[in-house]
Amino acid sequence: MIEMKNVTKKYPNGVVATNGISVNIKQGEFVYVVGPSGAGKSTFIKLMYREEKATSGQIFVNGIDLATLKDKKVPFLRRQLGVVFQDFKLLPRLNVYENIAFALEVIEEKPEEIRRRVMEVLELVGLKHKARMFPNELSGGEQQRVSIARSIVNVPKVVIADEPTGNLDPETSWEIMNLFEEINARGTTIVMATHNREIVNTIRRRVIAIEGGLIVRDEHGGDYGYDI
Ligand code: ADP
């Protein structure tokens, strides 16, 4: 479902962030992407949702060839993916309900269907009672729950997350991980860049370690493996 072949990303400043990476991620997998800062993790993740374009090599997501995908078709790709960020990226002027509904309104879903689906994901993340609150009225963990709800409201096949627990305390991080586990148990593929050693070493899943733009380890049930 996600396939990379010899993917190199060279930024305009000459930095080679991924250097000929090849990887295959199957439907339903849960994959951690680990490695030191500057290793190329974010770039690897951004290439999957075409936030960055590969300089060379091939990337297929759900059968879509990202190299030949026209810029105006990128929204079509994004509708099939959920993306979760470290800093949540909620729209500050929209309330919780609206932040999630927005993802469905842009694809012109029917109002009653939007309502049904937003309430369903709010129930899943345990925030039905805060539907009318604004992002700045919520804790960091609650904001991340909203952003997870938003990421899955389109029922994507894959959720891509870049350091989703990076701004959260340990207890809240575990709650967020439980949510990702639940989403994965429903069949959704999860690809998550993380620095959270404790989580990686406890919830054992596939670990892809990146260093200097290369995959240096790819292990099912692997550990975090770094001292930093
Ligand atoms: P990580 O997520 O592992 O910290 P990144 O993918 O963010 O790594 O960065 C990999 C390398 O690419 C670093 O050397 C970083 O400075 C560089 N880099 C990242 N984004 C850009 C950019 N937009 N322009 C130029 N260099 C970048």
Long-range Cβ contact pairs of 197-202 (< 8 A, separation 24 or more): 197/224, 197/226, 198/170, 199/165, 199/173, 199/174, 200/32, 200/34, 200/224
Q: What pTM was estimated for this model as a whole?
A: 0.94
Does 15 contact ligand 1 (Cβ within 6 A)?
yes
pLDDT by residue for the chain (228 residues), tens only, comes to 999 999 999 999 999 999 999 999 999 999 999 999 999 999 999 999 999 999 999 999 999 999 999 999 998 999 899 999 999 999 999 999 999 999 888 777 889 999 999 999 999 999 999 999 999 999 999 999 999 999 999 999 999 999 999 999 999 999 999 999 999 999 999 999 999 999 999 999 999 999 999 999 999 999 999 765
Ligand 1 centroid, distance to 110 Cα (angstroms): 40
Which ligand 1 atom sits closest to the C-alpha of 42?
Answer: 2
Pairing of the two strands 189-193 and 158-162: parallel
Q: Are 34 and 192 in contact (CB under 8 A)?
A: no
| HSE-up of residue 93 (Cα within 13 Å, Cβ side) | 0
| Total residues belonging to the chain | 228
